[in-house]
Amino acid sequence: MDRKQAAVYIITIILSAIFIFCGYKYNTREYSFLSGEQADSAYSGRITRIISDERVEDDIIKGRVITFECLIGDKDMKGSTVTAVQNLDDLDQMPQPPVEEGDKVLLYKYEGDNWQFSEFIRLDPLIVLCGVFFAMVLIFGGKKGVNTLVALVITCLAIFAVFVPAVLSGYNIYFWSLTVCAFVTVSSMIIINGLHKKTFVAIAGSFCGVVVSALLTLLMNRFLKMTGMLDDSYLYLSLLNPDRPINLNAAIFASIVIGALGAVMDIAMDIATSLYEMYSGSALKPRQLIKSGFEIGKDMMGTMTTTLILAYIGSSLAVTVLLVAYNASLTELLNKEMVIEEILQSLVGSVSIMVVLPFTTAVAALVYRGKYDWLDELDEKEIGSFFDDDNKE
């Protein structure tokens, strides 16, 4: 295995780990992440027997009370059997299904020996599905699939271990959202594709898309007079840290920019790779490469824009249906801040894609056909992805 390949891959992962570790430590130094008051009193277990299922009507509850035995599976109570109850109130607007023997559940222990049902443990089926996804990536992606999974893990850690704690701590969301976007772009591109000309082109195109989406969002927030109070979740978000209140407009900014990043990276990499394959071993001139890039971009434009808009609509389908049902006036509906934010997300993402297509094409033509000594060294024969043996000729 080429030493340069190994060096690039390992150094990228080491630097990524350092960024994530330092970012997490810095952003959680004043805010304890995932450490609620009841964190130590939550136990997981499996229901071994239903003791009783009774109908109760009193001043506290009107509904069913299910008493059951549960085998605790973690912490200091592991292996112990406890008796717990599930209260199913008729007035509860979001009732839980009744527990059954064999269910895996989450219990809370309160004063005395009072055990209460909290939630069903739903992660197990998702872990199986996640395993299927990983297997498919490895089967169809081969060695490149390993790189893809590594990049995915690093991306998720950057979001949940660096960016989310920064938001909860009340730090500058604008800075951290752009920093995380830049980090994800560079680390993902290098890990997946290696240090290569097309990687440089894709990174440049992605940066362009992020900058465009950021500027558009800031500009439109000013003209649209957004308050950031879209729904109850944003209200609760604003109350989380009284000492350093979370900037709700900045939270909207981050959701739009991070949401657009995936589509922008996809478009930039597709264009960079397609034009590199056309350039390799050919005598195409920069003008011909640009023309080809525009033709390829036209085909991508429609499907990617549609995909982006459908993704945003699908993620907020229930809210969209409710808003349509409870608003008699179309004008009033379209001017609600919640609806405006969804439209803004779709339009900013789509405009970013439109800008990335010609920009990435122009950079590709300049880099692939230009004479830059330091870029000419970024060749598949020299430096590539650590696991990607296909890069070797």
pLDDT tens digits for range 193-241: 888 888 999 999 999 999 999 999 999 988 888 887 777 777 788 887 7
pLDDT beyond 90 at 169:
no
Rounded to an integer, what distance in angstroms lies between the CA atom of residue 169 and that of residue 241? Answer: 7
Using alpha carbons only, how large is the chain's radius of gyration in Å? 26
Q: Which two tokens stand for residue 313?
A: 């609509």
pLDDT beyond 80 at 33:
no
Rounded to an integer, what distance in angstroms lies between the CA atom of residue 69 and that of residue 82? Answer: 6
* CATH superfamily to which 40-121 belongs: Nucleic acid-binding proteins (2.40.50.140)
Contact 244, 170 (CB under 8 A): yes
Please state, rounded to an integer, the average pLDDT across all residues of the chain: 83
DSSP annotation string for 68-135: EEEEE-SGGGTT-EEEEEEEEETT-SSPPPPP-TT-EEEEEE-STT-EEEEEE--HHHHHHHHHHHHH
What are the residue ranges of CATH 2.40.50.140 in the chain? Answer: 40-121
Contact 173, 166 (CB under 8 A): yes
CA distances from 100 to 72, 127, 310, 348 (A): 16, 22, 38, 47
Rounded to an integer, what distance in angstroms lies between the CA atom of residue 142 and that of residue 256? Answer: 33
pLDDT beyond 50 at 340:
yes
Confidence at 302, pLDDT banded by 50, 70, 90 = confident
Question: What's the average model confidence in pLDDT over 296-318?
Answer: 76
pTM for the whole thing?
A: 0.80
Contact 164, 24 (CB under 8 A): no
CA distances from 112 to 115, 295, 305, 329 (A): 9, 71, 57, 55
Contact 266, 202 (CB under 8 A): no
Q: Which two tokens stand for residue 54?
A: 């009774």
% of the chain beyond a pLDDT of 70 = 89
Task: Note the pLDDT of residue 67.
Answer: 93
Close Cβ partners of 1 (under 8 Å, ≥ 6 residues apart)? 386
